[in-house]
Structure 1
Amino acid sequence: MDPRKTEVTTNWPVRKSVHDVQVFLGFCNFYRKFIPQYSRTAYPLTQLLHKEAQSAPFAWHNDAQHAFEQLRSAFGTDTILRHFDPTWPIIVETDASDFAVAAVLSQTFDQGARHPIAFFSKKLDPAQLNYPIFDKEMFAIVAAFKHWRQYLEGAKFQVQVLTDHRSLEYFTTTKQLNCRQARWSELLADFDFVIQYRPGAQAGLPDALTHRSDMRPKDRGLSLMQEHNPGNFQTLLKPHQLQLAATGILTVKSDITDKIRDALPRDPWTSSLLEQVHLGSAPPGFAINSMNLLTYQDSVCVPEVDDLRLLIVQDCHDSPAAGHPSCRKTLSLVRRSFFWLGMSKFVHSFVDSCETCRRIKAVRHKPYGHLKSLPVPPHPWSSISMDLIEQLPPSSDFTAILVVVDRLTKMAIFVPTTNELDAPKLAKLFLRHVYSKHGLPTSIVSDRGSEFTSHFWRSLSTLLGIENHFSSAYHPQSDGQTECINQVLEQFLCGYSNHLQTDWSDLLPLAEFSYNNAEHASTQLTPFFANYGYHPRFSFDNTDPASLALFLTARSYTDQLKQLHEYVRGELVKANSQSAEQFDKRRLPAPQFRPGDRVWLSADNIRSLRPTKKLDYRRLGPFSVSEIISSHAYRLQLPPSMKIHNVFHVDRLEPYVANTIPNRVQPPPPPVEVENDLEYEVKQILDSKVDHRYRDPLFYLVRWVRYGPDHNSWEPASNLTHASDLITEFHTANPTRPSPTPCETPPLSSFFLGGDTVMTRS
């Protein structure tokens, strides 16, 4: 028999405690049917587990040593251990503890009895101690497969892997793996196996191997594990809080009483009151009780000595029995038993600067940031907005709608297109439907879709003298008119399209006429009339065409349109003012932060590695402001562990209130572990450049998911390994931009649309 197969059991160390005996016997009990006279052999060890024996100091006598050696050597005999037979099914049982992983290789033979083939255990190194629980349990499987590769690779039957960690069942099908898990997945691809869950109560074999005393860290014990995995440990009770938490009530305790009594003469305020009470000249309400404590209306007066006031407020606020209540509730708890001058101000300062409260409590005030409307355009079609309605059912080969809206007259153009619309195709539609009829605008408002933010479109806009404005995903009101028109259009198509929704493209001309011929709420005019100065002929319109022609020739049409557009501008300014007034009622003015200020960051859009969002922190930080992007956006200095975009809107931030109470020690912030590829992920690569001042000279301009243009940032290519698909897509659409493979860059002016050179503004 190969001694390496039983090395784990034959080298099992001598027991040093009752727990060690329990672990060893728990392992042996699984194979007791294969060990002759097991009960008699193990009797000296089982005696050590009786209550009478446990009440006395642990004693490891000769009989126990003899029984231990007999059982340990039994695992190397053929009654338990069998030779590997590739014609029988294979079972691998794994488990992981905080400091070790272990596995048992077994086979079920013809008699139906499961016999072990080999045992394996491994102590985790310092880096592996820092693995989360999922990775430790998965590492146990990986280590076992690497150790027994000669048995498991190419097995006749599918290898059955048993684990007490249910989420491992989905490891082979999950689509989101970190780098370490991806390497493990590649290694395990050589094996045919299935991971099955079984309760931990049935995992006695590998569990016992992971809890051997010699596997525990020897130098610093639990403190080492706390250092490497602090997220698994939390101090619930401080020594001075234990008594309050145990009783569940907040009353004057003997230790506090003694400290207050001794400190009374050392505080000028309480010493003066003591003297006045003895002389009978104290203010009403002050007295000395039976415990020789100074009281005011039966509440103990607390001197300002030795941080006694701080200790009392901590007990009434920080302890589990108190539960971090609000200022009002904390003050109520303190007032039940104590009194001092300025107590309300002290408690409010304490609670307002409590970092734990800021992390765990919801924001009750209105969101920050007033509405900032876009400026009203000076004349029609000088400023337009564009948006796409996508993912529609096919209709005459069209699957999307390009919506173009004049921001002054509110006139709209609905153009059928496809989901595959890119910047060159967008330029064609723009020239055909906008430029040819209304000329070139000076500005375009749009969202941050790839067709609007591509290098081609931005360069084309620059050549034509068009300024692009991009709306923020968190603030769609910056392009609210297009969003509203999209809803009107979708409502029209919903009402008139057929059952299969295949004729919506044929309905777009009617939808466009219907919208442009309806009065707009902001201007009190129809978009058609605001644009042309007259109403289009409708089915029931009885206006005499001759009178319309006479009217147009009787007055200056140019003056009429000019006055009309001035009226429209005035109505829009008035409407914007009214909208801002209503919107601002639900908002607070944005606080003004400066570089170096500390702020709390909302965790709403950040998913951590903790099990559930419901019990996770509501805010993270505090973090320092490193840069002012705008009046409503700031860049924060985040720790390296937070691989997320570091520019945030002001409504994601809360001011940090610094502690002003001397000698107060607050718990350190918990380790922040953020899933790197969730809400704060790369949405699009906008541009690239080379900066040879850096070791990694290639940089990409990144658009982040759910963030507007203020949050775009240049990131080194080494930080974007998880966005390789987007990088490839960018270079495919923009082959002239700097890339990992240098290529010749043609002149910027060489843009073509269907073979025709794009004209520029004169």
Structure 2
Amino acid sequence: MGLLLFIVRFIRTFSSIIASITECLKGGKFQWNEGAQKSFELIKKKVTEAPVLILPDFNKLFEVDCDASGLGIGAVLSQEGKPIAFFSEKLNESRRKYSTYDKEFYAIIRALDHWSHYLLPNEFLLHSDHEALNTMEVQVLGFEVLKELYKNGPDFGNVWKSCSKGSFNHFLVQKGFLFKNNRLCIPQSSLRRAIIQEVHGGRICQITKSHSKNISLYTPLPVPKAPWEDINLDFVLGLPRTQRNKDSIMVVVDRFSKMAHFVPCNKTTDASHIANLYFREIVKLPGVPKTITSDRDSKFISHFWRTLGRKLAVYGLNPIGPLELAPLPVTKHFSGDAEERAKEIKKLHEQIQGRILKKKEKYSKQANKYRKPAAFKEGDLVWIHLRKELFPSKRSSKLMPRADGPFRVLQRIGENAYKIELPGDYEVSATFNVSDLSPYYEDQEDQVDLGASLRQPGETDTGVFNKPNLV
């Protein structure tokens, strides 16, 4: 019997097999019976067979199968269906009186405790054939488990050793926990993934938390080559009404020289009237631009260009030539150095363009220092940030959700814009800047539960374990 204790981990359900023999040893009189003889023959067979066990691989997922019977409990630690070790235990008289639920539960507790050195730092699958264990009462542990994960963790192991004598590179150990700049460090584990899932995965959290402005890289517009070739068009709305019945301002800014024109208008003015206003107040000064950048939708810009084209007698995308559109000067006086002056101005424009490029490169580098690139694919689900100016009815209260969705991405437009599949009740353009989008994290039921990672079998709080369970 003593020799068998050295090879018990190689024999599956050893305690249940040996139970008949140990019963013969109880009491004053030794009585060998048929059950003991069968157990003895089975043990001889098990001992003479070559055990087929594999060595554990800590880069792979561990699996634990637990079971219980009227005499004992057993468990198997395996990876990819191949056993690593066996565990079994004979139940004493008091534990034999346990209910089936308690016996199965006791088998899980003993197996996890016995193989804690394999299972504690990693995720593992827990299998049980008892349906009642799909829902177990558990007790909250807190973050005490982190103290055991720092020493041998791949991310904080070396830092933990360096902090044994004091603070190290902004890291500090207090009451067994590792901090960096007063922020708790959480090593790689199921607990860390559970916290991330809890914070980012829930629908309520995703639609109510503030929208991050650093979700995408800063992408500047191309630098113009000359004044008033590329302009920005925007509006200042909601101003007090003037004596001329104007309550808004149309702002036109040249992206090259930064020169600006301010034209009074009305909030209800449509695209056609804005184009007429632009033609009357702006075109007569710097001329017609090549591009117009505005945050208005594509319908507005389309009507604007169409109306402006009619004003300029342009009815197609490509006019016959510039001669029909430009009035010829009628004068008898000409400057002989006009060609030299044109070259000087062109050279000056090139120098200005170069300086603007350098400034933009410097600003982009600083702006992207704390930003992350956001690249959505066609078919991805995203949240739309409900900006007040774009969705006033959906942001009328501070307690209303800050995002809506999820909606599907239909197409990528340029470097930082996406076309989104919107429902019919949305009266806005389906094209959104990437800064107004955020990824949708699916709240799957089989994801790791935060409470499940912080609890152990006990008496309070309830957590759900699916079968197989991801711990």
Whether the TM-score (by the shorter chain) exceeds 0.5 is no
Specify which structure has the higher proportion of strand.
Answer: 2
Q: Which has the higher contact order (CA 8 A, sep 6+)?
A: 2
Normalised to the residue count of structure 1, the TM-score between the two structures is 0.30
Structure (1 or 2) with the greater helix fraction:
1
